[in-house]
Amino acid sequence: MKDVLRESLRTVLNPKSVAVIGASENENKIGGRPLLYLSRHGFKGKVYPINPKRAEIQGFKAHPSLADVPDAPEAAIVALAGDAAIEAVEQCAKRGVRTAVVMTSGFGETDPVAGKAKEKRMRDAAHAAGMRIVGPNSQGLANFGTGAILSFSTMYIEAPPMDGPIAIVSQSGAMSVVPYGLLRARGLGVRHSHATGNDADVTVSELASVVAEDPDLKLLLLYLESIDDPFFLAETARIAHERNLPVIALKSGRTAAGQEAAKSHTGALANEDKTVDAFLARHGIWRARDTAELVASAQMYLKGWKPKGRRLVAISNSGAVCVMSADAASTVGMPMAKIAGDTRAELGKILPGFATTTNPIDITAALLTNSGLFSQILPVLARDGAADAFLIGIPVAGQGYDVEAFARDSADFARTTGKPLVAAIPQPNIAARFKAQGLPVFSTEYEAVAALNQFLSHGELMQASKRRAAASMHAPAPAANSSAMLNEAASLKLLSGAGVPVVPYRLCHSADEAAAALAELGGPVAVKGCSADVAHKSELGLVRLALNDAGSVRMAFEQMKQALADHNARFDGAIVAKMARGRREMMIGARIDPVFGVVVLVGDGGKYVEAMPDLQLLIAPFTSAEVREALGHLRIAPLLTGVRGEPALDVEAFCEAALAVSRLMMDPQSGVVNLDLNPVLVGAKGEGCVALDAVVYKTKG
């Protein structure tokens, strides 16, 4: 059945026949606009307007009902209001329609109870007949390659379509066409522009996985308000990787206010933002911050460039632009290439003596008198292995400058070397010459560098994703009805059995046992109150450190017992633990996300972890190499390799501990739903690591 349902989505992108239920003669109504588009943009299939009051609509023969159509349409548009839309969907299912695009609003996006119940009624009727539903509250689907424009968007009038290698798949109707308009304004063609609306049946991720199969695509853009089915998003990434198809996603709801707005917009359930970041990065999907970034680098993805690095060379006839280009590169974290000595010497023979041959390269106002400078220096730079990408900045040009030559030479250079080249040109008439040569042009140095950096960084992200061991999407465990916290001793025992190194300890139930534990373990020791009612002990005075004599240990035991009694907490005993030595306190946390499954956190530890978090997230399953890569993104990353004469830390041991936690969390028999190891004390390389404290939550029963 799943294959049948998925095939229906392939069909709706190129249907042989389309019914428009609620068809209108008025081209500016929801039921009239799709008919206009189907006739205007070359749709070659049959079109069946459904309207009992008319014999003909917009030149098409109309039919009183779906039952009167001679053949079952492969696709149907539902443009009726209220409960009539539900009845129309049920009629579509009975008639044998493959996919219904429901444009009607007023369902789950406005009423999360009754509206969702109506959506379920439509979905159940559809699935019983093997039919799919796009929507409700959908602006529609548009495939400009086939002319199947099942949409009512006004944008396709304001920005006339041109088929091209870009696809947009969005939950939001507006965000299916706003990027389309921006891309068309840049002269770029768009093949797919789809909006799934409330995702009551077909989700944006599932539709994207079908769109990604289009062999002519070179760029796939997504707008997501929720990720309810990460399997299909991972499947989209898998298909895209096989075809070297870049995927960029704009996931809204980064803030609490945005998450609340997303709920009211599409009835979406917002996912924790950092988890979304980790998931997208794992699958090689670049996450754009806003609409501008979603489309900023689009032209670069279409050029066929195969960059080998991110080292930038900036060239300008202005010293100020050179400085601002270097500033922009530094801001986005893009390294400036160090020009080789022989390259500089060769440049010096071409450029005037007052020009700058270091990077950025200032060719000065000499460009006015010698328009051949670009064509002379670019081949020299092409031979320098340190140069991966180029920025040409021309703040002012015009009369007296051979702009056509500048643009032609730049385009020839990019074409012959295969190295990315962007231009920063604020003058529209000058920028137009470079655009005519097919080069990406931006108004400012920062815009150019930021877009170039995104393109290059995304390439690295995709390669890193491909290098990871193939792993299927780990299904989330069923949500637990309730869970209970284990006390620290039980938590440490469970973790130790799972292969996590824990501090040597003894759980003591009397002062005599505590003193005996000191003698067994050897001092100094820590004494901690143990209770399944208390997660954070230091705030309650339940920790005593560096105790060396039996009297102090006995006293600490009694203090722990009294402190827990004072706070009406259970006394499960006192832990006597060997004081461990190490170089850095770090932490490992884990939880079961209801959407993404097991999520593991790694990062800096200690008592300030909540006040100054420095963490990275990983979606299980993952490898030791992926943990190491995540640690490299921490603010404390330089400390892990050793600074100012300090030794490097035992990162490998910490990575293995994180893997052990991941395996424990993925084991459905463990019952663990949440855990926190803080601190995990990491020693110098070869000294290992050890968990000093742990809190574990397990399902009850």
601-627 pLDDT per residue, tens: 999 998 888 888 899 999 999 999 999
The fold adopted by the segment(s) 584-699 is D-amino Acid Aminotransferase; Chain A, domain 1 (3.30.470)
Query: pLDDT value at position 264?
Result: 41
Rounded Cα–Cα distance for residues 277 and 287 (Å):
7
Rounded Cα–Cα distance for residues 267 and 263 (Å):
5
Contact 205, 232 (CB under 8 A): yes
Query: pLDDT value at position 268?
Result: 37
How is the chain split into domains, by residue range?
Answer: 2-300, 303-467, 504-578, 584-699
Rounded Cα–Cα distance for residues 463 and 459 (Å):
6
Q: Is the pLDDT of residue 24 over 90?
A: yes
Q: Is the pLDDT of residue 432 over 90?
A: yes
The fold adopted by the segment(s) 303-467 is Rossmann fold (3.40.50)
Degrees to nearest 5, angle at CA 313 with 311 and 318: 150
Side-chain-side CA neighbours of 115 within 13 Å: the count stands at 19
Contact 320, 426 (CB under 8 A): no
Measure Cα distances from 611 to 356, 399, 606, 631 in Å: 47, 59, 10, 19
Band the pLDDT of 368: cuts 50, 70, 90: confident
Measure Cα distances from 556 to 313, 538, 541, 568 in Å: 65, 14, 11, 18
Band the pLDDT of 263: cuts 50, 70, 90: very low
Rounded Cα–Cα distance for residues 437 and 488 (Å):
67
Question: What backbone torsions phi and psi does residue 27 show, to the nearest 5 degrees?
Answer: -65, -15
DSSP annotation of 609 reads T
The pLDDT > 70 percentage for the chain reads 94
Q: Going by C-beta distance under 8 Å and a sequence separation of 6 or more, which residues neighbour residue 498?
A: 660, 661, 663, 664, 670
Q: Is the pLDDT of residue 369 over 80?
A: no
DSSP annotation of 66 reads G
Q: Is the pLDDT of residue 472 over 70?
A: no
Q: What is the pLDDT of residues 60-94, one digit of tens each?
A: 999 999 999 999 999 999 999 999 999 999 999 99
Contact 163, 191 (CB under 8 A): yes
DSSP annotation of 74 reads S
Instruction: Write down the mean pLDDT value for the chain.
Output: 91
Measure Cα distances from 629 to 104, 461, 464, 655 in Å: 47, 12, 10, 10
The CATH code that applies to domain 504-578 is 3.30.1490.20
Q: 230: cis peptide before it, omega within 30°? A: no
Q: Is the pLDDT of residue 506 over 90?
A: yes
Query: pLDDT value at position 504?
Result: 96
Selected from 1.20.58.340, 3.40.50.720, 1.10.150.120, 3.60.140.10, the CATH number assigned to the domain covering 2-300 reads 3.40.50.720
Q: Is the pLDDT of residue 666 over 60?
A: yes
In CATH terms, are 504-578 and 584-699 the same topology?
no
Residue 262 vs residue 219, higher pLDDT: 219
Residue 671 vs residue 2, higher pLDDT: 671
At 171, list the tokens.
């939950």
Band the pLDDT of 477: cuts 50, 70, 90: low
Question: What backbone torsions phi and psi does residue 379 show, to the nearest 5 degrees?
Answer: -60, -35
Q: Is the pLDDT of residue 270 over 70?
A: no
Query: pLDDT value at position 52?
Result: 95
Q: What is the pLDDT of residues 387-425, one digit of tens each?
A: 899 999 999 998 888 899 889 999 999 998 899 999 999
State the average pLDDT over residues 368-384: 80
The terminus-to-terminus CA distance of the chain in angstroms comes to 36
